[in-house]
Amino acid sequence: MVKEQHYINTLYYQIEQTAKYCRYLGSQLFSKLNIGVSVEELVTLDTIFLHDELCQRDLAKLILKDRPATGRILSALEEKGYIVRNADTKNNRLVRKISITQSGEEILKSVTNVLKKYLEKIPHELSEEKIEEMKNNMREFRAILEKEVEMNI
């Protein structure tokens, strides 16, 4: 007798459920700590910090959001003074390149330090080696998925 494979026993489902817990934890922490930026804004700021001078389309691909959602996040960050968008050209087309401001760098550093204290407590039962192995496995799996997924961003 062959045991039937159910979706809830697949790797995809396990990752999806784990990601949901991570999002819930992030939302709860951000609310509890009254951080001043949302999880999406923090991810966007961090991505801009690491990839300065991105255009909105390239940023959207990196944060896996559609362009309208990315635009809303950028508008909120710009309103708060954390980023600036400057006119530039790319492939002979006018684009607005995004840069993080000094204020944006300060809030990013501040929020990262606060979150680090809380998030370091979570995986205390896992060794550093196990955590690094998990991160590497996730990167490898994500690279495989990127080849299969059609992104319309």
pLDDT in tens, 52-72: 889 999 999 999 999 899 999
| % of the chain surpassing 90 pLDDT | 47
- The answer to whether 56 touches 70, Cβ cutoff 8 Å, is yes
pLDDT for 75-89, tens place per residue? 999 999 999 999 887
- The model's pTM is 0.80
Query: For residue 29, what pLDDT is reported?
Result: 87
Q: What is the mean pLDDT of residues 122-130?
A: 80
β-sheet bridge partners, residue 90: 93
Phi, psi of 135 (to 5 degrees): -60, -45
> Which listed CATH number (1.10.260.40, 3.40.190.10, 1.10.10.10, 3.40.50.2300) goes with 38-148?
1.10.10.10
Task: Supply the pLDDT for residue 3.
Answer: 66
The mean per-residue pLDDT over the stretch 93-105 comes to: 92
CA distance 106 to 16: 32
Q: Report which of 63, 36, 33, 71 is spatially closest to residue 47, judged by C-alpha positions.
A: 63
The one-letter amino acid at 74: L
Q: Is 96 exposed, middle or buried (0-12, 13-18, 19+ CB in 10 A)?
A: middle
2-25 per-position pLDDT tens digit:
566 788 888 889 999 999 998 888
Q: What is the pLDDT of residue 124?
A: 74
What is the rounded average pLDDT of the residues 125-134? 86
Please say if the pLDDT value at position 147 is more than 90: no
pLDDT for 152: 72
Mean pLDDT of 19-37: 87
Mean pLDDT, range 118-136, rounded to an integer: 83
Ordered strands of the 83-90 beta sheet? 54-55, 93-100, 83-90
Residues 6+ apart with CB under 8 A from 110: none
CB neighbour list of residue 30: distance below 8 Å, 6 or more residues apart: 37, 38, 39
